Structure 1
């Protein structure tokens, strides 16, 4: 009876070593990725956005400044190791950048020829108004809504329409826009495609090199 017990003990020991190795590899991998995440943002994420902007697929008040070469932004750092939320510096000031996820809501419908039809600006405004009413219990007057929705969208560019809708389906973006006059949340500085930028709120013990 000792031999099976020894085999079981050895198996448990091997399992323990595998679990321990797994638990060590994960944080090491995350740490390594975090170190290179800022470089990934600078050399992959940003060029993709700016290439889309150069082809008029992406729009926004911050696109021109963001995509200027040489870039006015530097020292990119990922937030929580995620390349779609990062900080960058400009003239000694730090800003937060966030790329919103693509909305799962179907934005198009098909005409009688089976061609996808995208909503026009007036339709988008109405969709946003209903979206805020249904999901946030917020009813806005048209003049307030127009001030809230200050994005210029080319109706002939489906990507710009999608970006516009994606922004208003992101909770962080919507809450920041709704309370931008209340000094509760970071100030919204602008957008570029499905990316929005806010002022960076420094946290205790924060260190930037």
Structure 2
């Protein structure tokens, strides 16, 4: 059985858990990370030298990095609708997965640490205003994409790209600041909420 190492509250662990739900893949999860077994323990570092969750073990195969993990699981156990095999369709899915990691993630970092985590190191008012504005700018990019597709981020069907994007949208709505009106994003959030995997591992998870 697939072994998932990481606390369920982690947004990156939740990517893996939601993917498992979508492909109906059984797993065993162990709590590692903040408040649980330390990721700087030698036995964890032997699996991931970055000391970060999640890590999976699939038989004798070990993998870290959440987006690599969900791609692997979808490729090995999923259906083509989730992660297409056709080059153009797969590239579109990968584009939005990578955008979430490289652009959207960075945009919400300061605001999330300030307003949700209440980090003392992230309480500069000017930096917070700039962070909220930058986050809103990237969410408006997502708004335009969702308005164009009328459904999901990579097109008219749910794909692997909607898992990291959907979790980021949940974080957007759960972070307390004045959000611009984004009707396509709101509709998308409710559309995702019809999926049992998102209700279990996304919307009801800790931001």
**TM above 0.5, one fold?**
no
Q: Normalising by structure 1, report the TM-score.
A: 0.25
Structure with larger Rg: 1
Higher-strand-fraction structure: 1
Q: Normalising by structure 2, report the TM-score.
A: 0.25
